[in-house]
Structure 1
Amino acid sequence: MGSVALAVTDGMLHFELSVAYEVFGSAPAGVAVPWYDVAVCGSGAVRVGRFRLEPDDGLDRLRRADTVIVPGWADVDVDPPADLVGAVRAAHEAGARVASLCTGAFVLAAAGLLDGRRATTHWAHTAALAARFPRAEVDPDVLYVDNGSVLTSAGKAAALDLCLHLVRRDHGSSVANAVARRLVVPPHRSGGQAQFVTAPVPAQYDHPLTALLPWAVARLHQPLTVEDLARAARMSSRHLGRHFKAVTGTTPLQWLLTQRIQRAQELLENTDDSVDTIAQATGMGTATTLRRHFNRTVGVPPDSYRRTFRSRPGHDAGL
């Protein structure tokens, strides 16, 4: 996780490049964990949007990086530069974790990294990605996909979601939340959330979910049901489900589970509470239930998650 190489070429999209540099370039105040060593790597001076950028190092540095980020690039109708494709492939073969932001997925696909893997890109380009690279399993309906050593994201804001997801994988939920607070963005959007929803956030102060979401988050210790949420919002369960799909891109129960898992992560990192106690505090009821959902969602059991993130400097300070 220590070194991050941002792979650039002519025509890279400046927003995605800036997002990656902002997230990995400097640690947020008060975070004591070792941070990333970031380098912008390219074959020479490149045009990024309207700007001319002089890379820190050449593309050969990608092979020495722990993580390689390929930002989106504008001209997806032509093949990406061969030197960039080769460097990304070599980096992955050398053991690097490789992630694309937005249309950077076309570079990963050209390098063969998406063959047989589920992947995504900006919704406007998913059909083109699937047509040109039929061995990739393109999912147009998600924000990002994590295959372990190969990750892809949708466009713009989803690029930020994936970068925060990587920080969460490396340093835990508390540190990722600290980065999100610095950037003044929501701390977590699940990769499985839909790319396009009718209203990403309740726009009106009188929207039924404006008050309901914080109401539910304050009561995660309770065994809330869809009926409880519908009652609090003063609407039918079916009507509530439609509002949730439009605003969050998911169902009320899945949203609740995501909130409970996030709270469990924070408690595992920042308290000595037992798994049983955390299960009660997050509305999971029993340690068995928490372990089942946590392992399926996060990929490791709660005890392993705690050992990983409580053992690192800065996590005992209650970040």
Structure 2
Amino acid sequence: MSLRALPKVELHLHLEGAAPPALIRDMARARHVDLSGIFDAAGGYRYRDFTAFLRVYEAATAVLQTPEDYARLTRAVLEAAASEGVVYLETFVSPDFCGGRDLLAWREYLDAISEAAAASERDSGIVMRAIVTCIRHFGPDKARQAALCAAETAGAFLVGFGIAGAETAGRPGDFAYAFDMAREAGLGLTAHAGEWAGPVSVREALDDLRVSRIGHGVRAVEDPALVDRLAEAGTVLEVCPGSNIALGLYPDWRAHPIDRLRAAGVKVTVSTDDPPFFHTTMTGEYDRLADAFGWEAADFADINRIAMAAAFCDEATKDAIAKRLETADV
């Protein structure tokens, strides 16, 4: 079977970061907002480095101003993901962008997102669940407010809590209180680490935040003892190779450490992070990994089983998706 048709599980996708540029341009035009500076000549997002990427990301997100905007965004993102063979998707959403961390407003945004996700599930079969992320460079106090929003709305749809943003802002321990709140609410926990701040950030996320998954985590490869720890503990890495390469963390696909981490026994998964920003898709990630490392359909099927086992959803959903994965002709 083709890699596009292979059923896929994606654990690391930012909802706003997956917004098609055309959608953002349409929304900006309707609100008479000039965002021409964030687009390149071809109509894609334009940035030079990670700092500029964050600025462009937040500028694009600023035109998403109502629950209806987020419903429209969710439908567009899920349509694109389903076309790539994604059958289960965990998406990062943030109360910082959805109602300014006001709980009542957040509920309205979350309802709009979940209703749009339910409609997409009926239409195309793709299943989406949400993970609230606090924004690291917004600071610990706002992270606690985001965690409260997550804890108050935890349930079948909102299944996890994490942290994103500038990895060099503060230390993971600064956000331990927010993670404790989310843990007490029964949410699965993940944290962006091991991308820009190096392997020490992975250790601190494990020790101080007690997460079961790490977003990115690829620079753990620089610390053999940490690689052994990840493998022994069964910690799952949400690896986004195309993102790492587009942002200059690695020069090319063959230099990316995902294959070395997998060979060392670390549980790795594959995701797209912010696909239109990085000119990638899930099928594109698979194709390039196959070219770089000789991975075949059976290797990707194994990675998807790992991803599904690590998903934060309920067991009934896991079982249903696992059956779809196992019945695929690989």
- Structure of higher RCO (CA pairs closer than 8 Å, 6+ residues apart): 2
Taking structure 2 as the reference length, the TM-score comes to 0.33
Instruction: Provide TM-score, normalisation by structure 1.
Output: 0.34
